[in-house]
Amino acid sequence: MQTLLQQIPKTDKLLNALNAKLQTPNQNLLKRLTLEFLDSYRQELLKGGELLDFESCIKRIIMLYQNATQKSLKPLINATGIVVHTNLGRSVFSEEILEEIKPLLTQYNNLEYHLQTGKRSERYLHLQRLFKTLLNAEDVLVVNNNAAAVFLILNTFAKGKEVIISRGELIEIGGGFRIPCVMEDSGAILREVGTTNKTHLKDYKDAINTDSAMLFKVHKSNYTITGFSKEVELKELIALAKECDLIDYYDLGSGYFDILDSIFKGFEPSLQSICTLNPSLISFSGDKLLGTAQAGIILGKKAHINKLKQNQLLRMLRADKFTIAALEATLNAYLQGNVKAIPTLQMLLRDKDFLHTLAQELAKGIPPCFKPKVIPTKSYSGGGAMPNHSLESFGVAFYAKDLNFLKLDATKLEQHLRNHRIIARLENSALILDVRTLLEGDLVQIVESFCALHKELQCKHI
């Protein structure tokens, strides 16, 4: 045993060899991993493990080093057909927007500096003019995300006071964001009215008392109530709030510009149509249907926004320069009708002919032994908009009976694609690649992944 252990390479010798192989490695990390390797190697030997030659030891340590220095966040191909996919990073940026904001991030900028006077300025002012032009909004505030916007608004206006909300809107959305809990944590007192399926204006009216601060409406986002149901229109709530000198606040979750009316009209109102109602406050996410950076955008009356700015919490929730730069560039693209600068819009607006052609092109590239079939599919906008309504799309499907032939099944195929960073959808033992969410270059990569698998299987059924 002793002689066996004596054959373990010396640390210095290993480190010298490793340094010759790796380009400018982190010495501390390399040393730590080498010692960890030697330790576990020694344990293995004592348990009767196999002796490794010097080169094998080096290979193992290099593998450990590469694992430790590998980045965890990786680009993926979204073939799920869900455009705003929270698990896949929600909205995608165009090269155009990134190029546009690059100088703002690689150089200093006037984030909080007034160029004409040389005095201190405010970061939110960069967005004020754009929201005024686009939506005729009096004022704007941007925080880290929409959850932060909800919290800040409730905390500022309703701490220790009552907030009236319909029972049908006490939602929980992804990531455990529960409206009743957020309200409690913000210090607001929940005053729920109506029933799960029906809430009338009278319910709100009856609940108003001297402790009331706000009428709060929340977009249901991930569920719908169908059948015997009623909710109060925003317009009526705004009028009631005005009449009773209360604040109306609508957390609309997603928020979209009317360029997407062809998709959402009749399901959800656009930002334009909401803003013409002149609400006290609304808030929505930047990275859902708006198609830009993660942010909570608050629009509303100047006096209310000013009050929000005075809350110390804002200092903790404020958006950074990257967000503000991305927002300004994206809003400017909206102003110019530049859809191609906003991939979320582009993907949502793809028409059936385009999608059909794209699916055919994809199917053609895939080795025929996989029996790819172009099929109509249902894709979704995601991001909590129109949860129960699909968008007609096309995809390429692979069926269990065809895959059987290759000793494959949809789950195995899904796993293979996932290892190549392609996220597909499984539906009734078939695998589906929806083309609505494919970006430039994705098609080639998917085809390559199938060709690699084809080679692995040495498929003989062509």
- Residues near ligand PLP (CB under 6 A) are 145-147, 150, 173, 177, 218-219, 221, 251, 253, 285, 296, 384
| Ramachandran quadrant class, 118 (left: phi over 0; alpha: psi -120 to 50; beta: rest) | left
Surface-to-core class of residue 124, CB atoms within 10 Å of its CB (0-12 exposed, 13-18 middle, 19+ buried): buried
Q: How far is the CB of 387 from ligand PLP (least distance, A)?
A: 10
Question: Euclidean distance between the first and final Cα of the chain, in Å?
Answer: 56
Nearest approach in angstroms of CB 122 to ligand PLP is 22
C-alpha to C-alpha distance for 101 and 77, rounded to whole angstroms: 24
Q: How far is the CB of 263 from ligand PLP (least distance, A)?
A: 17
DSSP 8-state code for residue 111? T
Which CB, 286 or 343, lies closer to ligand PLP?
286
Q: Which residue's CB is nearer to ligand PLP, number 150 or number 331?
A: 150
User: Whose structure tokens read 């191609």?
Assistant: 340
Are β-strands 82-84 and 113-114 bridged in parallel, bridged antiparallel, or unpaired?
Answer: unpaired
Q: How far is the CB of 252 from ligand PLP (least distance, A)?
A: 7
Polymer length of the chain: 462
SS3 66: helix
Q: Which is nearer to ligand PLP, 154 or 446 (CB)?
A: 154
CA 263 to chain centroid, in Å, comes to 20
* Contact residues for 76 (Cβ-Cβ < 8 A; gap 6+): 88, 421, 422, 423
For residues 57 and 290, which CB has a smaller minimum distance to ligand PLP in the complex?
A: 290
Residue 89, classed as helix, strand or coil, is: coil
Measured CA to CA, the distance from residue 97 to residue 161 in angstroms comes to 42
Token pair of 139, please? 């004022």
Query: Least distance (Å) from ligand PLP to the CB of residue 251?
Result: 5
Backbone torsion region of residue 194, taken as left when φ is above 0, otherwise alpha when ψ lies between -120 and 50, otherwise beta: left
Nearer to ligand PLP, 216 or 450 (CB): 216
Distance CA 418, CA 422 (A): 5
Closest contact distance (angstroms) between CB of 256 and ligand PLP is 12
143/446 with CB nearer ligand PLP: 143
Contact indicator for 213, 281 with CB cutoff of 8 Å: no
Looking at the Cβ atoms of 168 and 296, the one nearer to ligand PLP is: 296
**Is 164 exposed, middle or buried (CB count within 10 Å of its CB: 0-12, 13-18, 19+)?**
buried
Q: Locate tokens 């108003």: which residue?
A: 208
E strand map for 194-244: 212-218
Rounded CA-CA distance 268/274 in Å is: 10
Least Cβ distance, residue 124 to ligand PLP (angstroms): 17
CA 172 to CA 165: how far, in whole Å? Answer: 14
Q: Which two tokens stand for residue 243?
A: 């009449």
User: What DSSP line would sit under 212-226, residue for residue?
Assistant: EEEEEEE--TT----
CB of 422 to ligand PLP, least distance (A): 25
Q: How far is the CB of 246 from ligand PLP (least distance, A)?
A: 20
For ligand PLP, the nearest residue by Cβ is: 253
Quote the CA–CA distance of 57 and 40 in Å, as a whole number: 12
Tell me how far, at minimum, the Cβ of 109 lies from ligand PLP, in Å. 25
